[in-house]
Amino acid sequence: MVNTHNLNFHIPLTNHPIALKDLSLPPPSSPPRTPIPFFHLLTRLKTTKRAGWERFSIYAGESISDHMYRMSIMTMLAPPALTAQLNIPHCTRMALVHDMAESVVGDITPADDVPKEEKARREAETMEYLCGNLVGAYGGGDAGKGIMELFQEYEEGTTRDSVFVHDVDKVELLLQMVEYERESKGEKDLGEFTWVAKKIQLEEVKEWARDILKEREEFWREVGKEALNLDMRKHI
Ligand code: ZN
């Protein structure tokens, strides 16, 4: 059955979170003729900014897909001591998928006061829609199912691969933090984000974080200013 309706639905291109019901979504068809509506929805990952930076007057900051892109490359360059224990292509795919729900629900941060369970519920509901209704049985059904499984594995965070991707998520934030500080020539102190370093679990990834935090210490020394949590390297 050809469902031309699928091609015409409207994807709001704002960078604001949106409720699934407001997307004027096509009814599920089985199987969808084309993944193009799904591709269109993903544009919202390019237009939705990562939250957190605006509080520091960084308005042209990174998007969610910027963040996932760099993470994906980072997984391909996993520390050699870890590669034998990891399925790298699987980790790369997980990095590409892990924040996909934010295309609809936005980047919910601790500052938003949304309980953790509610954040997880909204994200899971979105992923069910994307993978179930929008991609659905396209191509035999494995693609949508595969994306959903990657998301769930990341959310549960219990497999070795998912622990690694969670760690990479934190290191990517640290990289971005240091880059914005440098870009501001020391006008912006983003040291409050360094706390994520404490949540890194794998020793080899902690080593990456220590290198970045050392770079940060040197930067602030060069500009001759004090900044928050400059001793974080010693606490991870
Ligand atoms: Zn992320």
Mean pLDDT of 32-40: 85
pLDDT at 5: 41
Distance between CA atoms of residues 49 and 53, nearest Å: 9
Q: How far apart are the CA of 166 and the centre of ligand 1, in A? A: 8
Q: How far apart are the CA of 175 and the centre of ligand 1, in A? A: 13
DSSP letter, residue 60: S
How high is the mean pLDDT of the chain? 90
Instruction: Flag whether 14 is in a domain.
Output: no
Distance between CA atoms of residues 96 and 70, nearest Å: 9
Q: How far apart are the CA of 100 and the centre of ligand 1, in A? A: 9
Instruction: Flag whether 138 is in a domain.
Output: yes
Residues at Cβ < 5 Å from ligand 1 ion? 99, 169
Q: What is the CATH number of the domain that holds 74?
A: 1.10.3210.10
23 vs 215, higher pLDDT: 215
Distance between CA atoms of residues 68 and 95, nearest Å: 6
Q: How far apart are the CA of 223 and the centre of ligand 1, in A? A: 30
- Tens-place pLDDT, residues 63-102: 999 999 999 999 999 999 999 999 999 999 999 999 999 9
Mean pLDDT of 223-233: 97
Q: Is there a contact between 209 and 236 (Cβ–Cβ < 8 Å)?
A: yes
49 token code pair: 């900014």
Instruction: Flag whether 23 is in a domain.
Output: no
Q: Is there a contact between 84 and 61 (Cβ–Cβ < 8 Å)?
A: no
- Which domain does 102 fall in, by range? 33-235
Instruction: Flag whether 28 is in a domain.
Output: no
Instruction: Flag whether 103 is in a domain.
Output: yes
- The DSSP H or E segment spanning 223 is helix 203-223
Q: Is there a contact between 8 and 25 (Cβ–Cβ < 8 Å)?
A: no
pTM, two decimal places: 0.90
Instruction: Flag whether 24 is in a domain.
Output: no
If one counts the domains in the chain, the total is 1
Q: How far apart are the CA of 155 and the centre of ligand 1, in A? A: 11
Instruction: Flag whether 86 is in a domain.
Output: yes
Q: Residue 156 region, left (φ>0) first, then alpha (ψ -120 to 50), else beta?
A: alpha
Q: How far apart are the CA of 202 and the centre of ligand 1, in A? A: 17
pLDDT at 126: 93
pLDDT at 137: 80
pLDDT at 111: 81
Distances (CA, A) of 42 to 13, 68, 134, 234: 10, 12, 12, 39
Instruction: Flag whether 3 is in a domain.
Output: no
